[in-house]
Structures are given as C-alpha cells and as structure tokens.
Amino acid sequence: MRVLTRRPSTGPGVYTGDLSTGAGVAKAVAGAGAVIHCATDPRRWQVDIDGTRRLVEAARAAGGPHLVYVSIVGVDRIPYGYYRAKLATERVVEESGLPWTILRVTQFHDLIRMVAGVLAKSPLVPVPAGVRFQPVDVHEVAARVIKLATGTPAGRVDDMGGPHARTAEELFRAYLRATGRRRLILPISLPGKVFRGFRAGANLTPEHAYGRVTFEDYLNHR
C-alpha cells in the first residue's frame, strides 16, 4: 500500500508528489497493480482534469494498472463548475487506455458537518429550501473502493449513497441537537440552474442507498 501526498512526509509507503505539476507521480505509481484516485481541488477545478492526465501518463508508463476514480453523483445533471470538472475528469479516465472503474458517491457526512459548523456561527441560519442530500459514511465508501480496486475493472459501477435522503433543514437540525446549540433556521429558495438541479434530486441515488450509517450515527460517534 502506498500513499501520495503533497505534504513533505516520511514513512513506509508514503510518497511526496503533486498532480498539479506531475512531480513524484511516476515514482509513486511504479509497479502498482491498482491506483485509487481520490485527489481533487474544489477551488481549482482545472487541476482535477490536468492532474488526472498526468496521473494517466505516469500509470501508462508504469505498465497500465487498474485505475479506480471516485466521482460524485449528479456530475452529469447539475451544471455546477466543479461538477463539470469532475465529469470531464471521468472522460479522461474512460479514454485513458487503462483498465478503469468509476464510482460516483453522494456527499460525505464530514462535508455536511463542516458546512453546518460554519453556518452555525450565525444566530440566523439560511438553508436552501427544497434541497435534499443523501450523506454517506466515508468508511463505507472506502470499503467499497478497496473491493473495486482489488477486483476486475468494471467501468461505471452502481452509484453509492447513504441510507436516507434528508432535507438540508433536517440535517442542520440534527447537527444542532448533537452540538447542543440553538439557532433560528431560515429556509430560502435559491435561484439558478444549479439549485434547480439539487431541488430536482439530481444529486441523489435512492435506488443505491447502500450506506448504513446515518448522519445521526456519525454525529453521535464524533
């Protein structure tokens, strides 16, 4: 097992490199049987695309390992810039010439908690009305990714979501209960095609609710 990180690190199987420049990538993938690609930068979308091209080039030179890419449910249906970059990155993987598998997942519990924590700093909290999320536990996703990486390349596999689709207001209230806070919640209808896609449920996969850990389970554990 190896890990590629941008931070200068030492230890068995830890490699320092950067997909945005290609530094250290070839050394990290040399001799690998499978590569699990989770690297992303929501603030610099083009890095996902160009960085994946660099990873693909290094992987091809290393003999063509199985490339497993973790994407997001709804990238082909919600016109958000970051999602478009993830979709374009999927295309790079599909056209790489490598054996590949792509898994799309819903939002992690950690992301919902992080956003709720930021919003909870204000006594009046606006939340998007009519928007639902299907948060999933990162450990359950990791288990599935490992199974995919050690199996036969399968192309686009079934999406993976958490056990329940919940409104943004429901999830935020769960966070407030778990942290013992009181806040006034103000649901607001946000304009634009992106939030129209979220209200339509394009970010959900109820038919693939494979996760078992609820948001409340996650909060109680933390």
79-138: pLDDT as tens digits: 999 999 999 999 999 999 999 999 999 999 999 999 999 999 999 999 999 999 999 999
Instruction: Report which residue type is found at 64.
Output: G
In a shared domain, residues 69 and 125: no
User: What's the CA gap between 113 and 10, in Å, rounded?
Assistant: 31
Q: What is the mean pLDDT of residues 27-50?
A: 93
* Cβ pair 93, 86 in contact under 8 A: no
Contacts 24+ apart (CB under 8 A), 123-127: 123/183, 123/184, 124/183, 124/184, 124/186, 125/172, 125/183, 125/184, 125/185, 125/186, 126/186, 126/187, 126/188, 127/168, 127/169, 127/172, 127/185, 127/186, 127/187, 127/188
Q: What percent of the chain has pLDDT over 90?
A: 92
* Cβ pair 52, 19 in contact under 8 A: yes
pLDDT (0 to 100) of residue 7: 86
Q: 18: domain CATH number?
A: 3.40.50.720
In a shared domain, residues 97 and 112: no
Residue 1 counted as domain residue:
yes
In a shared domain, residues 114 and 202: yes
pLDDT (0 to 100) of residue 190: 92
User: What's the CA gap between 65 and 33, in Å, rounded?
Assistant: 5
Residue 153 counted as domain residue:
no
In a shared domain, residues 182 and 101: no
The closest of 66, 6, 61 to 39, measured between CA atoms, is: 6
User: Strand, coil or helix: what is 101?
Assistant: strand
pLDDT (0 to 100) of residue 9: 77
pLDDT (0 to 100) of residue 216: 97
Domain that residue 205 falls in: 107-137+162-222
Q: What is the mean pLDDT of residues 71-84?
A: 96
Q: 183: domain CATH number?
A: 3.90.25.10
In a shared domain, residues 217 and 119: yes
In a shared domain, residues 124 and 175: yes
In a shared domain, residues 31 and 95: yes
Residue 32 counted as domain residue:
yes
Residue 131 counted as domain residue:
yes
Residue 149 counted as domain residue:
no
* pLDDT of 4 strictly over 90: yes
Return the exposure string of 183-211: e unless at least 16 CB atoms fall within 10 Å of the residue's CB, then b: beeeeeeeeeeebebbbebbbbbeebbbb
Residue 157 counted as domain residue:
no
- Whole-prediction pTM: 0.94
Q: What is the mean pLDDT of residues 171-177?
A: 96
